[in-house]
A and B are shown apart, each in its own frame.
Chain A
Amino acid sequence: MKQIHLKEIKAISYEKAEIKKGYTDQSLRINLDATDITIHPIEEKVKNTFIGGKG
């Protein structure tokens, strides 16, 4: 089995959103320039207009 070398450069713990009726209402954003991990809420309005959306 090939050995792989993974060097952890960032890690966060997060509170897992509870799923309600198929939605978590959260989006995960990874910005690779700054190696940033952020979690944003999804607005109700966006959800209603775009359902699941295409991003």
Chain B
Amino acid sequence: MWNAVSGDTKWNDPENTICISSGPLGGTPGYPGGGKSIVTSISPLTGVPIDSNVGGYFGPYKKFSGFDVIQVDGKAKTDTIIFIDGIESKIKIFEAKDLPTDSYELSDVLTRHFDEDKPVNVSVVTAGPGAEHTFFGCLNFSWWDAGRKRVRYKQAGRGGIGTVFADKKVKAIVARYGAISMKSNNPADLDALKLVTKSHAKEIKELDPKQNRMSLVGTTHLVPIMNDHDCLPVHNFKFGSHPESHVIGEEVYEHIFDKGFDGCWRGCTVACSHGVKDFSPFTGPYRGKKVFVDGPEYETVAGCGSSLGIFDAHTILEINFYCDAYGLDTISVGTSIAFVMECFENNLITTDHTDGMDLSFGNRFNALKIIHQMAKGEGFGAIVGKGIRNMKKIFAKDFGADMAFMQDIGMESKGLEFSEYITKESLAQQGGYGLALKGPQHDEAWLIFLDMVHNFMPTFEDKAEALHWFPMFRTWFGLCGLCKLPWNDIVPEDNKNTFEPAKVAKHLGWYADFFSAVTGRKSGPEDLLAMSEGVYNFQRVFNLKMGFGTREHDTVPYRAVGPVTVEEYESRQKRYDDQLKEKYDMDIREMSSKDKVAALRQKREEQYEQLKDAVYARRGWTQNGIPTVKTVKRLGIDFPEVMEVLKKNGVE
């Protein structure tokens, strides 16, 4: 992508490129999480590269068909389907007419079309109508569920890559490949590969039932856990818990999920990609019909449930279903609608602006109505579909809304909507979101518990160290074609006795063995980090190339840092009062809540800036957040074009 785009390339210029790659380890059957891909493009929301990690069978199939990476650029004149047939060794481009418009039906139709007899051979990448009308179109990556005899899909959700896809008039990319075995990657050491695969798979099978039980509940166990730790977004990230949250967590979903094997890659023993059979939506084009819903994951429950004040398991399923069918990122949809709801409740926008819709928190019918409008590009939904950054501008300019307040409550950074964790009490996670390359997506770092609950990183330097190590290591999974869940969502029984339990040393060792076994490059756990660091810094320089990538862009809205309003402050009054008194040595007896909000804000905003200083130093960046010459040289990414971008930005 670096070579294809210039610093001026916009997301909808023909030069913008969509790349799908699956890494050397991707496509290993039986290795937990062994089949993922990374999709990249310039994001319509941020203007810089977005990278999105996704399951399904496409990545491995296209690799075994002969390609480490697929690159799609330019724009077609009519709807196009790209077909990579790894069985016949043919690549075909088709003009497509009269295709089903939604991704749910389209994935099924194309799977059957391209291999009627053995649909398991086919994986389809599609966008949906949401991609044509919003900036947060996602991509659906399918696989054939042999047990249930139906198509399933996971999403490359963040950043609007589906929107780019649709803008290029690509309706689908299809890959077809046959039988896969451990030999398919032609590993350097097949026996070593079999051994480490068996070890990791077996451990997960034994321990998952005693730990998070992801093979039964997926990621819905996180709902009660986050709620009880005051980290579950409620009403646009105002609050961290709600008494009704128990109806939207694992307790309920465990019983609604359809029983059966739910791996998004073959033989994965985490098998957490659950769904609901025979679900009947009460709105929209599938109203009254029976559908299969893939999900929900925690992010969807929180983003499209609690954050919107919707505490109803059925509604969340319906939102999940339509977002998938329309090809919309549930995180951006949820966080955007939450913003709109708070604006509505504060009279920044009224029914005059919202097509008469009451958008108070909890109004589930209108939340669904907005989503249907997004798919059609109609009404108020079409405005919501532009994302929070654009909505703030529109609301201020056209509706006279208070920009300062919207900046505080609009949960976006770098133009991308936040994913679903309350970070007010975790400075490390504020950094985890604000200092992430792509925008506030938790795949780079998830440090809330280590920080807030276990106090594992008390100093700025500790936090900076974590904000170096974890993003680097988590990046590694994507680069290799792997899912990170088996690394630390299920851990060995003796893990707590190890030196740094958060790093899960035994699994680091296995991943190093896995890497060595396939690629033949002998590696230890330390080497894995070094591999990612070059890519990570290169991506930072890429952001710089596109006109961003500096300190000012690493800001976060104050709602992510502390209580914006008196209502929020008073909801956790004791906590905040204690902090002002004990941590900051203030005498608060004469202070009103409004004064206290302001005092706390000043302290917290200062802290966030200090965190930036510490993190930049640790990462080998300037105080303006730019990788130094020394750093890029050390990492072997001192290509002439990189040096030029640095020079242009005053770094020599």
Do A and B touch (CB < 8 Å)?
yes
Interface residues of A (CB under 8 A from B): 1-35, 37, 39, 42, 49-55
In the assembled complex, the Cα of A42 lies from the Cα of B92 at a distance in Å of 22
Closest chain B residue, CB of each to CB of A5: B97
Of the listed residues B23, B93, B187, B480, the one surrounded by the most CB atoms of chain A closer than 10 A to its CB is B93
Give chain B nearest CB distance to A9 CB in angstroms: 5
Across the interface, do B21 and A24 meet the contact criterion of CB distance under 8 Å?
A: no
Across the interface, do A13 and B89 meet the contact criterion of CB distance under 8 Å?
A: yes
Known: A27-B70, A30-B71, A50-B534. A2 touches B89 (CB 8 A): no
Residues on the A chain within 8 Å of B22, using CB: 52
Q: Does B505 contact A (CB under 8 A)?
A: no
Q: Does B385 contact A (CB under 8 A)?
A: no
Residues on the B chain within 8 Å of A52, using CB: 21-26, 38, 68, 478-481
Across the interface, do B186 and A22 meet the contact criterion of CB distance under 8 Å?
A: yes
Q: Does B540 contact A (CB under 8 A)?
A: no
Per the CB 8 Å criterion, the residue count for chain B at the interface is 79
Q: Does B518 contact A (CB under 8 A)?
A: yes
In the assembled complex, the Cα of A54 lies from the Cα of B500 at a distance in Å of 29
Q: Does B365 contact A (CB under 8 A)?
A: no
Across the interface, do A9 and B94 meet the contact criterion of CB distance under 8 Å?
A: yes
Across the interface, do B186 and A20 meet the contact criterion of CB distance under 8 Å?
A: yes
24 contacts between A and B (CB under 8 A): A2-B100, A4-B109, A6-B96, A10-B92, A11-B93, A13-B90, A14-B89, A21-B186, A21-B519, A22-B26, A22-B187, A23-B68, A24-B67, A30-B71, A32-B168, A33-B73, A34-B74, A39-B67, A49-B534, A49-B636, A50-B538, A51-B476, A52-B24, A52-B38
Q: Does B442 contact A (CB under 8 A)?
A: no
Partner of B186, one of A13, A19, A32, A39: A19
Give chain B nearest CB distance to A50 CB in angstroms: 5
Q: Does B113 contact A (CB under 8 A)?
A: yes
Give chain B nearest CB distance to A33 CB in angstroms: 4
Across the interface, do A23 and B24 meet the contact criterion of CB distance under 8 Å?
A: yes
Partner of B94, one of A3, A8, A15: A8
Across the interface, do A24 and B66 meet the contact criterion of CB distance under 8 Å?
A: yes
Q: Does B64 contact A (CB under 8 A)?
A: yes
Residues on the A chain within 8 Å of B99, using CB: 4
In residues 145-200 of chain B, which contact A (Cβ within 8 Å)?
168-170, 184-188
Q: Does B387 contact A (CB under 8 A)?
A: no
Q: Does B75 contact A (CB under 8 A)?
A: yes
Residues on the A chain within 8 Å of B520, using CB: 21
Q: Does B121 contact A (CB under 8 A)?
A: no
Give chain A nearest CB distance to B79 CB in angstroms: 10
Across the interface, do A27 and B109 meet the contact criterion of CB distance under 8 Å?
A: no
Across the interface, do A32 and B170 meet the contact criterion of CB distance under 8 Å?
A: yes
